[in-house]
């Protein structure tokens, strides 16, 4: 009986052995295929699919995220970090603030010093610069192309689905605002203009011209469709590529570095848009190389740097 029992157990063991081997073989094959797929995907992202992967990463960035999220998405820490104190930061007063005047019904502000962090991420195809607060929350970020072959597409505001647009139009009782789509290193500033000329009154722009450096930026408030963010498009010398028109003609035409200039009342001193042919030609000839997104907590008036995106002098020594 004991010998027969051993034979029965051996037969049962032999009966289940093929099934175990099959399962083990299948699991090994699945693991091998998964490993091969991960290897191929990694190789693709490093070679032919590199730019598509970078486009997808940049599309995930947004103001209000933490700096560590940018590090995770972009894949490496910033190459440069510094801090900057803006002495004239405009702070809005609440009714509970000791400096608030209850007899003054107009919006009340004060200027205070405020420290910001500035981080610059480096990739062979782009720069990403962030402006952060003390908690390392990203209040603004800029993307600059640095390659003629790297031209990310950016939409402002981001176009929602058809149902979301219909619901927005039903709630607000007028058509959804026109979406502007631009491709860095390819689109010109004239491409930002609406198709209806009656909706265009000239952009708010800033220009800086030097012996070796230049920058031209147009600023727009996004209102509700843009999440109450501010958006800036720039032709930057940090890109080291992209057509740039006759900037000094613009400076001479407007008589300064900003139009309309908030520090100067409108009138005979400052020309109106219809009498600025040099600026209009400059916008048609100049390509956008940088876009900047600002959180509602910041805004252009509190932007801590004198230009949007990295300065060519800051990044020219980096690979």
Tokens of 113: 């010093």
pLDDT for residue 17:
63
pTM of the model: 0.80
Residues 74, 286 contacting (CB under 8 angstroms): no
Phi, psi of 211 (to 5 degrees): -65, -35
Cα–Cα distance measured from residue 172 to residue 247, given in angstroms and rounded to the nearest whole number: 40
Cα–Cα distance measured from residue 181 to residue 158, given in angstroms and rounded to the nearest whole number: 9
Highest mean pLDDT among 95-104, 165-174, 303-312: 303-312
Handedness of CA 247, 252, 253, 256 (dihedral sign): positive
pLDDT for residue 33:
63
Tokens of 196: 């209806």
The beta strand positions in the chain, using DSSP E, are 80-92, 109-122, 126-132, 138-145, 153-156, 180-183, 204-209, 214-221, 230-236, 258-259, 290-294
Cα–Cα distance measured from residue 167 to residue 283, given in angstroms and rounded to the nearest whole number: 35
Phi, psi of 232 (to 5 degrees): -135, 135
Of the listed ranges 59-63, 240-244, 271-275, 281-285, the one predicted with least confidence: 240-244
Q: Which of 243, 265, 120, 256 is nearest to 184 (CA)?
A: 243
DSSP 8-class letter at 84: E
pLDDT for residue 37:
55
Above 50 in pLDDT, residue 135?
Answer: yes
Q: Where are the alpha helices (DSSP H) in 133-207?
A: 162-172
Residue length of the chain: 319
- Dump pLDDT digits (tens) for 80-133: 999 999 999 999 888 888 888 888 888 889 999 999 999 999 999 999 999 999
- Dump pLDDT digits (tens) for 2-39: 555 544 454 555 555 677 777 777 777 776 665 555 55
pLDDT for residue 6:
47
Q: Is 236 helix (H, G, I), strand (E, B) or coil?
A: strand
Cα–Cα distance measured from residue 186 to residue 4, given in angstroms and rounded to the nearest whole number: 84
Distances (CA, A) of 75 to 69, 123, 124, 268: 10, 10, 13, 52
Distances (CA, A) of 279 to 12, 127, 136, 203: 89, 28, 38, 10
Cα–Cα distance measured from residue 2 to residue 317, given in angstroms and rounded to the nearest whole number: 84
Question: How high is the mean pLDDT of the chain?
Answer: 85
pLDDT for residue 245:
94
Above 50 in pLDDT, residue 214?
Answer: yes
- Rounded to 10°, the helix 277-285/247-254 angle is 150
């Amino acid at each position: 009986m004991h010998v027969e029992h051993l034979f029965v157990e051996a037969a049962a063991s032999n009966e289940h052995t093929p099934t175990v081997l099959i399962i083990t073989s299948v699991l090994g094959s699945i693991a091998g295929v998964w490993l091969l797929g991960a290897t191929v995907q990694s190789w693709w992202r490093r070679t032919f699919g590199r730019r598509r992967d970078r486009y997808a990463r940049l599309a995930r960035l947004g103001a209000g995220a933490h700096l560590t999220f940018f590090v995770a998405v972009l894949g490496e820490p910033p190459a440069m970090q510094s801090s900057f104190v803006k002495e004239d930061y405009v702070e809005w007063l609440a009714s509970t603030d000791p400096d608030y005047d209850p007899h003054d019904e107009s919006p009340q502000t004060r200027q205070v010093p405020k420290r910001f962090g500035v981080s610059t991420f480096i990739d062979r195809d782009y720069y990403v610069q962030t402006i952060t607060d003390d908690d390392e929350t990203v209040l603004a970020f800029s993307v600059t192309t640095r390659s003629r072959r790297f031209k990310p597409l950016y939409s402002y505001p981001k176009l929602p689905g058809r149902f979301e647009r219909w619901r927005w139009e039903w709630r607000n009782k007028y058509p959804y605002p026109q979406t502007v789509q631009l491709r860095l290193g390819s689109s010109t500033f004239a491409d930002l203009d609406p198709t209806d000329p009656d909706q265009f009154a000239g952009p708010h722009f800033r220009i800086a011209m030097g012996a070796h450096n230049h920058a031209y930026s147009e600023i727009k408030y996004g209102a509700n469709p843009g999440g109450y963010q501010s958006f800036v498009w720039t032709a930057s010398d940090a890109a080291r590529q992209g057509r740039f028109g006759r900037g000094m003609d613009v400076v001479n035409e407007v008589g300064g570095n900003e139009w309309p200039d908030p520090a100067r009342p409108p009138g005979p001193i400052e020309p109106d848009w219809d009498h600025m042919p040099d600026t209009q030609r400059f916008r048609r000839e100049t390509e956008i190389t940088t876009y900047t997104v600002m959180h509602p907590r910041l805004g252009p008036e509190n932007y801590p740097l004198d230009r949007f995106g990295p300065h060519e002098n800051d990044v020219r020594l980096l690979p």
